[in-house]
Amino acid sequence: MAKKKTDKQLWEEWSEFRENTRRATPIDLNETATEKAKRIKALEADDEAWFKYYFPNFYSSEPADFHKKSTKLVMSTMELYLIRSWSRELAKSARTMMETLKLALTGKKKNILLVSSSYDNAVRLLLPYKNILESNQRIINDYGEQQSIGKWETGEFTTKQGASFRALGAGQSPRGTRNDAARPDLILIDDIDTDEECRNPERIRKKVKWIEEALIPTRSISNPLMIIVCGNIIAKLCCITELSKKADKHEIINIRDKDGKSTWPTKNTEENIDRVLDSISYNSAQKEYFNNPVSEGDVFKKIVYDRVPLLRSCERVVVYGDPATSNKDKGNASTKGVGVIGYKAGKYYLYKVWLDTMRNSKFVDALFEAYAYLVSEQVDVKRVYIENNSLQDPFYEQVFVPLIRQKERERGPLPLTPDTRKKPEKFYRIEGTLEPIHRNGNLIFNIKEQKNPHMERMEQQMLGVSPTAKMMDGPDLLEGGVWIIQNSVATSNNTYAVGYRVNQKY
């Protein structure tokens, strides 16, 4: 555990922050009063230009569309309850700070509360506001000196123009929070959830009750109140999930979109995202970067790894691919997967898996790699299936068939059968097919693949299977393969659908 920083270390850090802010915001001393007034008017009419001019050290990358859209909502709607579940590294707190300071400096908001899980944390989050108002030369030049005498403490301060800021820890009494006659008109809630508290549902409910019964009622009925909550979904039950039930809008933005691409490419490159995600566990990545907390062991308590028999000795072997292109999954982060599954003497074995956020071409490559694996293991009857139910059919025909045919010209025919089964809900299907097999010790993962990142992702998704889980594409493909084996029909009834072997029988 990292050591807590001393007061001296914190003071040195914030002194450096103030100095960096001062240096980053030079002003034009030769500007006339008319030029200055014209410039300020133009900046105030353009939120992004305002942010870029006054906060060059924060506005270091061009914003993404979701940044601009959210800011437009905030700056145009004074009565608003907004929750921002933006992934780490998407600048939710920094952008909220820039918006808040503009609202305060232009007189649209006068009484700001910053609330966090504890008072100390709230003070830490409020400190940049105070230091910017003290040292940002452009703000001082255009809006005047902000630091007032006698009302300038670390956790509570009021500018000379009359905008007040106060830090508040969850559970503290917010009563009496006034700025002259003005009640709070902007409440910022940031970092309200903690891992420890999320393990105790009663503590979460108590905190939410405080927000709804003590904090929000400090508002005026007749004047508009803006509430902005910055926080990710770090548990299935947390303050964010509960507050979202009453919010006007809940923005969930992950580090990557549903197609597996960076949601803020001008700042976070694919290579940098890969580097970060590769350095932490799957569960940590899902919680911190994808708003998808994984509760381990809801259905599968522990995955069994063991030695597996020779693949060619299995009574039945299938390759099963899940392209995860269902319309039901649209809008959610999804992975694609291909697995090699064998059956022998009542046991089901997962020999190898390719499971990741993939482009369509990469998924097709995985199908061919799986087929090559069967060839290398000298499997006689090679069956390759791809999920293709009614929700996926147009996409399958229009996208995957052409890609497969193109790859066949390079690598030879792929004996592929579409699985057109009409499938029940994903969770109940996975639980119904796999849980009894697993419970009886008959679902075995190849121990030689245990350290393979694809198999590690598969394990974490298996442990995370639950009715509310967002990531179950690995278990879904495994269920598909196991179901095929369990419901084997006479081989003469099976046909191939694509490639050079169209309609060829087994």
The pLDDT tens digits of the residues spanning 192-238 come to 999 889 888 899 999 999 999 999 999 999 999 999 999 999 988 99
pLDDT at 330 over 70: no
Q: Which amino acid type is present at position 322?
A: D
pLDDT (tens digit per residue) in 96-155: 999 999 999 999 999 999 999 999 999 999 999 999 999 999 999 999 999 988 889 989
332 pLDDT above the threshold of 50: no
Note the Cα 501 to chain centre separation in Å: 42
Indicate the pTM of the whole model: 0.70
SS3 62: coil
Q: Which domains does the chain have, with CATH numbers?
A: 17-282 (3.40.50.300), 305-501 (3.30.420.240)
* Phi and psi at residue 245, to the nearest 5°: -70, -25
Distance CA 464, CA 115 (A): 32
What's the chain's average pLDDT?
88
Q: What percent of the chain has pLDDT over 90?
A: 65
First vs last C-alpha separation in the chain: 59
Torsion of CA 182, 183, 187, 192, to 10 degrees: 140
CA dihedral defined by 266, 272, 278, 283, rounded to 10 degrees?
-30
Which tokens in the block code for residue 286? 């899902």
CB 385 within 8 A of CB 417: yes
Strand 186-190 with 347-356, pairing: unpaired
What SS3 class is residue 249? Answer: strand
CA distance 108 to 37: 19
* C-alpha to C-alpha distance for 322 and 477, rounded to whole angstroms: 5
Predicted confidence (pLDDT) per residue in 72-89, tens digit: 999 999 999 999 999 999
Amino acid letter at 253?
I
Work out whether the CA dihedral 11, 16, 18, 19 comes out positive or negative.
Answer: positive
**169 in helix, strand or coil?**
strand
